[in-house]
A = this chain, B = another copy of it.
Amino acid sequence: MTRQQLIEEIHRKKSFLCVGLDPDHAKIPAHLKDNPDWIFNFNKGIIDAVAAHCVAFKPNTAFYECYGAWGWAQFEETVHYIRTAYPEQFIIADAKRGDIGNTSGRYAKAFFENMDCDAVTVAPYMGSDSVKPFLDFEGRWVILLGLTSNAGSIDFQHHGSEPLYLEVIRTAMTWGNPDNMMIVAGATRGEQLKAVREAAGNAFLLVPGIGAQGGSLEEVIEMAMIPQDIGLLVNSSRGIIYAGDGEDYADLAANEAAVLAKKMSLTFA
């Protein structure tokens, strides 16, 4: 998906919501627990219910890998379903991969060729040759970790007199551009989102940390939205997908997604 297509979809829906698909057997509704394809079926319920309110889905690989090869197949089936039923949705494999050049190319192949994801999250520690192989795929995106939303982000991302996260963002934007690179920018530290926006130029920011992790949507919009192009994908996972744990879980998820989308719609003229 191109940047322009994504922006058009955001304007059409008046929403820049991304829904995280992190299936957890302990949290899903009782009526799905014994389903032999419970991950896919849980996800399908959510996807069908919230697709009208969001522009992106973000399955996190950890929640599938922990169920082995079967879990990996459920990940593939989930991506295939979104791609087929909702081709206008932007699909992010939240994998946080990164390895030496020829090996990163393998990860890119896994997510872009085998699975037709639009984007994959990438960790920056190993530098240019760990990131660039993902950029070789036309029409696909790297979403690089910049400033993350977790407590441990304080440990290394602020290292140096120029904080590492700003150095990472500035450097990475010379490898890619706003048409193939986005930046992860946690919502939990509003004052730093502004610095991220300055370093990232017009690149889209993927913003986790809304809801369960304490970030404020209003602050994100104030600090990091750009005119016309919006430049934001704001993610919510647990707050939406586990809004309920009964047979009406998908309806409750849709309600939560609609509340966020409604707030977002107020920013469109």
Residues of B within 8 A of A155 (CB): 124, 127-128, 171
A-B contact pairs, 16 of them (CB 8 A): A22-B103, A62-B99, A62-B104, A65-B72, A65-B107, A66-B109, A66-B110, A126-B153, A127-B154, A127-B156, A129-B150, A130-B150, A130-B152, A159-B159, A159-B167, A160-B160
Q: Interface residue tally of chain A, by bracket? A: 35 or more
Residues of B within 8 A of A128 (CB): 151-152, 155
Interface centre among A22, A99, A114, A125 (most CB of B within 10 A): A125
A83-119 CB mask vs B (1 if < 8 Å, else 0) is 0000000000000111111011011011000110000
Please tell me if the beta carbons of A125 and B62 are within 8 angstroms of each other in the complex. Answer: no
Residues of B within 8 A of A150 (CB): 100-101, 126-127, 129-130
A69 at the interface (CB under 8 A from B): yes
A96-B123 in contact given A62-B110, A106-B65, A159-B159 (Cβ < 8 Å): yes
Q: A29-85: which residues lie under 8 A (CB-CB) from chain B?
A: 60, 62-63, 65-70, 72-73, 76
CB distance from A106 to the nearest CB of B (A): 4
A131 at the interface (CB under 8 A from B): yes
Complex alpha-carbon distance, A98 and B153, angstroms: 12
A225 at the interface (CB under 8 A from B): no
A142-172 CB mask vs B (1 if < 8 Å, else 0) is 0001001111111111011110100110010
